[in-house]
């Protein structure tokens, strides 16, 4: 039942299985200024996000001391990190919507990303509701004297930017995860760095969410803060939607990691020259042929004692020289077995001749 359900979810409609895998499309529009800007923004965003994690950890540990001092370092770091990541995903989204048209989508990659995109869309929707509750919470906390006007304003801006960047991530992933292998090869000079930066941003978001939830629980237990009843109710309601942040950050980080994995398969992060476009297209064709077979049981060649599923695993998990070596070894085994069979037949013929001679 589980295999059938997975097969229905990953089913691709409107695709001719006999069609050629390789396509003739114009090259992607990759302006040098755009790619350089994305690389620089990605590096800055990853650095500021990592700094945001360390500052958030420090403030979560020393909340009482930092609150008495009225320090706003945590708010400044959050605002800077959210601003840079929003700029990064705005630029990436504009390029993706202009360059990655529907005609360039790979139907197999698009089908693979359906489930993850549904999770991201659903969690982002819940987080939009949480944003409204957080803005109301900031208003009540400012009225209670817990926050100052500048801090409440900066936190409002940063929370809004974070939510905007999450929707932008969804729109970027919708197109980037459906990229054809040829376009993956074309974007190898900037998209891996952007994807790595996005992974860092989402894992930092996961950690900062943990710090925030623990800090809010601690604040709810402090009577000296003297929150009003309305503020406490809003804070408790906001806590119930925080799991959507965990789901979004975890799923989005996994999606960007999947994008990175395609470049790993291409050999971009290994020593030596990466895989060229023709080899990448052959690898893609092997993926597609394996998927068209679906859930068919692996057939085994009795003579060679090697199943077709083993060859598929080799084509997925090993590089081309190892596959060729496996095929050569497999052929040597076949030759050896044929030689052994011929030797046995010769021995039987000799036995028959000896028996005939003895009878005579």
Interval 304-314: pLDDT, tens:
343 444 444 44
> How many angstroms separate the CA atoms of 232 and 219, rounded?
10
For residue 277, is it left (φ>0), alpha (ψ between -120 and 50) or beta?
A: alpha
Reported as a pLDDT band with limits 50, 70 and 90, residue 80 is: very high
pLDDT for residue 112: 83
For 115-148, the pLDDT digits (tens) are 899 999 999 999 999 999 999 999 998 988 888 8
137-186 pLDDT, tens digit each = 999 989 888 888 999 999 999 999 999 999 999 999 999 998 887 888 88
Angle formed at CA 12 by CA 10 and CA 13, multiple of 5 degrees: 145
Three-state secondary structure string covering 120-148: HHHHHHHHHHHHHHHHHHHHHHHHCCCCC
Q: How far is CA 78 from CA 174, 205, 297, 306, 324, in A?
A: 27, 10, 52, 56, 52
With beta carbons less than 8 A apart as the criterion, state whether 106 and 178 touch. Answer: yes
The reported pLDDT for the residue numbered 314 is 40
CA distance 214 to 359: 97
String of b and e for 41-66 (b: at least 16 CB within 10 Å)? bbebbbebbeebbebbeebbeebeeb
Spatial CB neighbours of 185, under 8 Å, sequence gap ≥ 6: 266, 277, 280
Q: Check whether 301 has a pLDDT greater than 90.
A: no
Helix (H, G, I), strand (E, B) or coil at 179: strand
Mean pLDDT computed over 220-239: 86
Mean of pLDDT over the chain = 79
Q: What is the pLDDT of residues 23-57, one digit of tens each?
A: 566 777 888 899 999 999 999 999 999 999 999 99
pLDDT at 223: 78
Cα–Cα distance, 313 to 232 (Å, whole number): 55
Residue 324 has pLDDT above 70, yes or no: no
Tell me how far apart the alpha carbons of residues 131 and 119 are, in angstroms, rounded to a whole number.
18
Determine contact, residues 49/128, Cβ cutoff 8 Å: no
Helix or strand run (H / E) with residue 20: none
């Amino acid at each position: 039942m589980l295999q059938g359900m997975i097969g229905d979810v990953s089913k691709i409609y409107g695709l001719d299985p006999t069609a050629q895998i390789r396509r003739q499309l114009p090259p992607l529009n990759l302006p040098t200024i755009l790619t350089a800007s994305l690389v620089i923004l990605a590096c800055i965003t990853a650095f500021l996000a990592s700094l945001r994690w360390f500052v958030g950890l420090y403030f979560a540990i020393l909340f009482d001391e930092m609150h008495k001092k009225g320090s706003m370092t945590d708010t400044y770091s959050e605002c800077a990190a959210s601003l840079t990541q929003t700029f990064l995903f705005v630029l990436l989204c504009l390029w993706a919507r202009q360059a990655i048209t529907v005609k360039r989508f790979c139907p197999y990659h698009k089908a693979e990303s359906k489930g993850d995109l549904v999770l991201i869309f659903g969690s982002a929707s819940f987080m939009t509701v949480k944003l409204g509750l957080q803005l109301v919470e900031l208003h009540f906390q400012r009225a209670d004297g817990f926050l100052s006007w500048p801090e409440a304003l900066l936190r409002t801006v940063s929370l809004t930017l974070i939510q905007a960047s999450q929707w932008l991530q969804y729109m970027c992933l919708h197109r980037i995860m459906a990229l054809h292998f040829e376009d993956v090869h074309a974007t190898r000079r900037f998209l891996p760095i952007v994807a790595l930066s996005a992974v860092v941003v989402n894992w930092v978001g996961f950690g900062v969410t943990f710090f925030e939830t623990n800090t809010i629980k601690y604040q709810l237990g402090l009577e000296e803060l003297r929150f009003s009843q309305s503020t406490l109710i809003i804070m408790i309601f906001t806590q119930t939607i925080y799991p959507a942040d965990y789901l979004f950050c975890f799923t989005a980080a996994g999606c960007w990691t999947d994008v990175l994995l395609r470049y790993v398969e291409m050999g971009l992060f290994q020593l030596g020259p990466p895989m060229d476009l023709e080899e990448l297209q052959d690898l893609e064709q092997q993926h597609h042929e394996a998927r068209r077979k679906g859930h068919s049981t692996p057939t085994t060649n009795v003579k060679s004692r090697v199943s077709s599923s083993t060859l598929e695993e080799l084509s997925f998990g090993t590089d081309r020289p190892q596959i060729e070596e496996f095929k050569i070894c497999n052929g040597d085994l076949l030759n050896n077995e044929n030689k052994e069979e011929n030797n046995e037949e010769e021995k039987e013929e000799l036995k028959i001749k000896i028996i005939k001679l003895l009878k005579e």
